[in-house]
Amino acid sequence: MPSEKAPQKQTGVTLIELMIVIVILALVVGFAYPSYMNYVVDTKRTAATSILLQVADRQQQFFMDNKRFANDLTNLGFANNPLVIADDGRTMANAADSASTYSVALTNVTATTYTITAAPLNSQAARDAECGSLTLNQTLTKGSNGGSDCWK
């Protein structure tokens, strides 16, 4: 008598299980991606605020040496005027470069006053419409075109 084989139990992933995993991953990505993009925008804004503080520091030293504020960033030892900041915080020469995030310039300069303005460029301008341009003046008053929480 031939012996009958017992049916083998199938192993593996069913289509329904795979679809459930894909839906769960889509939900996680749907919540995580906007948070990640906000983090990226905030990080680039922090790089801009850091440069603004560096320029203010150099302006104070220039004032101590010359009894007036500099009207050009090259007088403060920066390579360019205006100064362009890349997405990783380094300075660069070309504002048209896709990696540029902010353009920093001196405005309203007199012998005793100045305003430093960091204007967002490229994708940063579109993503950071809430804050827009950041400013800092000789009294270290911080400002922005948008919300009050832009200088963290």
- What HEC string does the chain produce? CCCCCCCCCCCCCCHHHHHHHHHHHHHHHHHHHHHHHHHHHHHHHHHHHHHHHHHHHHHHHHHHHHCCCCCCHHHHCCCCCCEEEECCCCEECCCCCCCEEEEEEEECCCCCCCEEEEEECHHHHHHCCCCCCEEEECCCCEEECCCCCCCC
Q: Could you give the percent of the chain with pLDDT greater than 70?
A: 92
pLDDT at 46: 87
* Mean pLDDT of all residues belonging to the chain: 86
At CA 38, angle to CA 35 and CA 41, rounded to 5? 155
pLDDT at 125: 84
Tell me, what amino acid is at 55?
V
Query: pTM of this prediction?
Result: 0.77
pLDDT at 146: 76
pLDDT at 82: 85
pLDDT band at residue 24 under the 50/70/90 scheme? very high
pLDDT band at residue 65 under the 50/70/90 scheme? very high
pLDDT at 1: 56
The pLDDT of 41-61, averaged and rounded, is 91
Q: Could you give the percent of the chain with pLDDT greater than 90?
A: 36
pLDDT digits (tens, 9 = 90+) for 74-93: 999 888 888 888 877 777 66
